[in-house]
Amino acid sequence: MLSSFGIKKNPKLSILPKLLSRRAPSRQNPGKNTSQISPKTFPVGLFPWRREKLPRKHTPHSSQRHNTMRKSLWLFALLPLLTLRTFCASADEAEVKIDVVFRPLECAQRSKKGDLMNVHYDGFLQDGTQFYCSRSDKAGHPQWMVVGVGQVIRGLDAGMLDMCAGEKRKITVPPELAFGTQGKGKV
């Protein structure tokens, strides 16, 4: 005789009728007993070929932790490059010597990267020779430029940051941050 589970009942084995007749807790309601027994409710040791799979532990935030860890690894991988870039940028700006000649008493807004400025400037070599004057070159009109985007030499870009309207500065730029070893024109 076959039971509803495909297990042949043997009267000699007294454990099977007892297991089949007892009430087992269901998976949906662990506190409730049900009258029907499913193969999943049998003890694992009774049927060694049937291993009960344990539910995989998945917390609601495990994927967020994985993404956070992935981002942290990228940050640590890129950190040396960012540090090197920051060090080089600060070394470049440290080489530019800025002397404030005149600063107005009221400074409502300071210049920052991307600001449009209207400036007069004169260019001198280290020996004092003048190679450029915006007053004589542009018919006395100041020159318009956007600060920090490379419209002028790098040293001048760095020297014009954080200026007030009407401020006058003497900016000394090393050759590496100007025209380099190849020069430009008479410079």
pLDDT digits 0-9 by tens, 70-93: 555 544 555 555 555 544 555 444
Residue 84 lies in a domain: yes
pTM for this predicted structure: 0.47
The predicted pLDDT at position 142 comes to 85
More confident residue, 5 or 151: 151
The predicted pLDDT at position 113 comes to 92
Query: 73 and 107: one domain?
Result: no
124-177 tens-digit pLDDT: 888 888 888 878 876 778 888 899 898 888 888 899 999 999 999 999 988 888
Other beta carbons less than 10 A from residue 173's beta carbon? 20
CATH code of the domain covering residue 135: 3.10.50.40
Residue 175 lies in a domain: yes
Q: Which residue in the block uniquely carries the two structure tokens 């940051």?
A: 161
Query: 33 and 81: one domain?
Result: no
As for how many domains the chain has, the answer is 3
Q: Which two tokens stand for residue 91?
A: 């070394």
Pick the closest to residue 120 from 132, 106, 108, 104 (CA basis). Answer: 132
Q: Quote the strand ranges of the chain, DSSP E.
A: 24-25, 33-34, 97-102, 116-119, 122-124, 130-133, 143-146, 168-172
The predicted pLDDT at position 102 comes to 92
The predicted pLDDT at position 134 comes to 79
Residue-range definition of the domain harbouring residue 178? 98-182
The predicted pLDDT at position 121 comes to 84
Alpha-carbon radius of gyration of the chain: 40
The predicted pLDDT at position 74 comes to 47
Residues with Cβ within 8 Å of 124's Cβ and at least 6 positions away in sequence, in order, are: 130, 131
Assess whether pLDDT exceeds 60 at residue 66: no
